[in-house]
Amino acid sequence: MTTDQTELALRHYKIAASAMQQGDFGTAIQHFDECLCTNPHAEIAIAAWFNLATTIVRQHNFPGRPGETISDEEYKWHECVMDCFAKVVEVYDAGIHLRPDVVKCHPTYVRAKENLQRMPLYGMVVTDAKGKTRQRDFEKVKNLPRPAIRCLAV
């Protein structure tokens, strides 16, 4: 990665982090995505993947809502969250022996692994208008378009 690419990745990361803190989740998602599309070095990527997941979680208020209340479209966002946490683990595991500073990302790595263990069941069932709970129709979900996050499509 060239110095210019690193600077571009950091610029997008800083814009995203600021937007996330201000509650401007759309801008944060856009700039974390832009940051990750520059293929940043591991330390930036780990933070960006984790914060992209966190931003999506906040945007949809997943912790404040039972999983059975989210729509199928929102479930696609939940899938993106899980993919982002998996990317944190992947990048950390790949970079730990190549870049000495990756070890500083260990707490983020641990949190991502914990989230991957505790979040997979979220949204697996839905409650209909009559209050009846059933398994989500994953055939229907599978055919829905994924949210437009380019870094996850690569």
Q: What is the pLDDT of residues 48-74, one digit of tens each?
A: 999 999 999 999 999 999 998 899 999
CATH number, span 3-153: 1.25.40
Residue 74 token pair: 């929102």
Question: Where are the domains positioned within the chain?
Answer: 3-153
Over residues 96-109, mean pLDDT: 93
Per-residue pLDDT at 37 exceeds 90: yes
Over residues 62-91, mean pLDDT: 95
In this prediction, residue 1 has a pLDDT band, given cuts at 50, 70 and 90, of low
> How far are the Cα atoms of 10, 67, 104, 133, 145 from residue 142, in angstroms, in the given order?
34, 17, 37, 20, 8
